[in-house]
Structures are given as C-alpha cells and as structure tokens.
A and B are shown apart, each in its own frame.
Chain A
Amino acid sequence: DAGITQSPRHKVTETGTPVTLRCHQTENHRYMYWYRQDPGHGLRLIHYSYGVKDTDKGEVSDGYSVSRSKTEDFLLTLESATSSQTSVYFCAITTGAFGGYTFGSGTRLTVV
C-alpha cells in the first residue's frame, strides 16, 4: 500500500549487531504496530504505538525496542541481534475505529 513503507526490504546482519527497521506512513494514523511472522506461529505483536512517544510492549518484546518521535515514523530496534530474531517483520497502521489494519510489504531479516 502506498501509504505505508518499510525499509529496508531485506537485510542480512551478524549476531550481536544492532539493527533498526523503519516504518513510514503518510496517512497520519494514530496507531502503529510491529509484528513478526514466523512459520507455524502466524503474526505476533512485538510493540505498538498509540501516539507520538506513546508505546507499549506486545507479546514478544524481549530483545526489541521502539521509538516514535513523530507521527509518520515508527522505528524497531534489535539491540543485539540473535539468530532467533531471523524473521519477516511487518508494520501495520490503523486509524482505530475498526477500520482494520493496513500492512507494509515487510522486511525480511536474516541474522547469521
């Protein structure tokens, strides 16, 4: 969807290095989410944001941090990447009011 972009699309990194993934939206939506997708697990929520500088943990937040300093950007940081964090990461946005989510195209991260 043109209103939400993720970068990079693909990344290979080494164990122990920090990594930052970016989600950028042009929709001015209040809510933003980071999920990871793994085979057999579906999508699991890592962190989410309900406004600028307002963030909270999801079900699989260990090893991840987030920041949202402006409405359009939501950053996900892996503080010290591990092989268990190899995954596809999706960002999603919503206005709330049950409009449903709009998803980004995903970032495929490989930790070697």
Chain B
Amino acid sequence: AQSVTQLDSQVPVFEEAPVELRCNYSSSVSVYLFWYVQYPNQGLQLLLKYLSGSTLVKGINGFEAEFNKSQTSFHLRKPSVHISDTAEYFCAVSGGGGSNYKLTFGKGTLLTVNP
C-alpha cells in the first residue's frame, strides 16, 4: 500500500520569495514520485517526476524537487515565485507497472502568491 502526506494545506507567500511545498510518502515497494499542478478550473499538469538516478529533479516553470529516501520525502521548491504560480499542487506516488501505474495523490497544497 502507498500513501502520500502533504504537510501544508495552504502556503501563502509574497512574490519573488522562495517557497517549499512538503511531501512525505510511504510505500512497501519501489516508488516513483510526481508533482502535479492544477490552475483554477483546469485539469492537472505534470510539473516533474522522479523515477531513478539523480535525487534532484528539475521541472517546468523553474520548479525542482529533491528525493530523500531516508526521510521518505519529495519536497518541491522554487527560489523565486511569481503571481502566476498561484495554484494547487499535488504530490503523487506510483508503485510502477506492477500496480498498473496507478497514482496515489496527496490532498494538495494551495499556493497563494501575493503581490
């Protein structure tokens, strides 16, 4: 079984400030980790993913995440946010082909960027 915990339901920040959205996971098998973003009234869009290799993963729109196996974490970061980054962010875990690539999502973190 897999689960994802997003530690903050809401994160307000000012424009140009750095931000970190926290995600912890649990899994009994090898994990593959994802971050998705959802802008208001839209579907979800893939930001980045960790499958293997380098633990620092870079994604779109200047976001990056670091996989930490010992802490079972996959936190999302951006050094300087823009108003347009206001959205809901979802962390997700997959057990891979053995689980038919099903994704288990966290409950989401609403990032609000204020001027």
Which single member of B32, B43, B49 contacts A103 (CB below 8 Å)? B43
Q: A58 — nearest CB in chain B belongs to which residue? A: B102
Residue numbers in A under 8 Å from B102 (CB-CB)? 33, 45, 48, 58
How many of chain A's residues touch chain B, expressed as a range?
A: 20 to 34
Among A1, A42, A92, point to the contact of B106 (Cβ < 8 A).
A42
The CA of A106 and the CA of B38, in the complex, are separated in Å by 12
Contact of B105 among A42, A50, A98 (CB under 8 A): A42
Query: B32 contacts A98, CB within 8 Å?
Result: yes
Q: A31-B101, A45-B103, A98-B101 are in contact. List 6 more A-B contacts (CB 8 A).
A: A40-B9, A42-B105, A43-B44, A45-B102, A48-B100, A101-B103
- Taking Cβ atoms with an 8 Å cutoff, the residues of B that contact A are 6, 9, 32, 34, 36, 42-46, 49, 51, 90, 94, 96-97, 100-108
Show the binding face of A for B, using Cβ within 8 Å: 1, 31, 33, 35, 40-45, 48, 50, 56, 58, 90, 92, 94, 96-98, 100-101, 103-106
